[in-house]
Amino acid sequence: MDVRVWGLVDDRLIDLRVEPLAGEAGMRILGLSDKRARTTADRVRAAMVNSGLMQEAPGLTIRLEPSVPAGTTSDLDLAIALAALARVGQLGAGLRWILAIGRLGLDGTVHSRGLSERTSLPDVVGSLCHTPVVGFEHMFERENR
């Protein structure tokens, strides 16, 4: 069973659909403007690689539905990373869905409101792999600015 992943931009729920990118390395994001798609993919790729979760970013297309023409798209970083990691099998079996909202630093640091201490992308992945929860499985919110 595939894990469904959602993010939130400007109070709109965004569904992230992940497909393999035929014969290509890297990550492509559809549903953002070209410039935002490139910078977001680069930031998420750097976070996954620099945090030690992967040697290189998987060849994936991540489709945002509905598309996000404007807004604070860095809030989708965590959701995009988790969607990619779920697709390549790095998240725990049994997860059905995830709602994630948060920015990623290039080193894999998660910037999210409500976290009492520094949290990294591997910490979040570890939490999702080892915590059985009913209902909202996990929710990470963006920090107030």
Arithmetic mean of pLDDT over the chain: 82
Is the pLDDT higher at 26 or at 23? 26
SS3 category, 72: coil
Average of per-residue pLDDT across 7-34: 88
* Gyration radius of the chain over CA positions: 14
Helix (H) or strand (E) holding 121: helix 121-130
Q: How confident is the model at residue 141 (pLDDT cuts 50, 70, 90)?
A: very low
- Contact between 20 and 30 (Cβ < 8 Å): no
Q: How far apart are CA 94 and CA 112, in angstroms?
A: 25
> Half-sphere exposure of 124 toward its Cβ, with a 13 Å CA cutoff?
34
Cβ contacts of 35 within 8 Å, gap of 6 or more? none
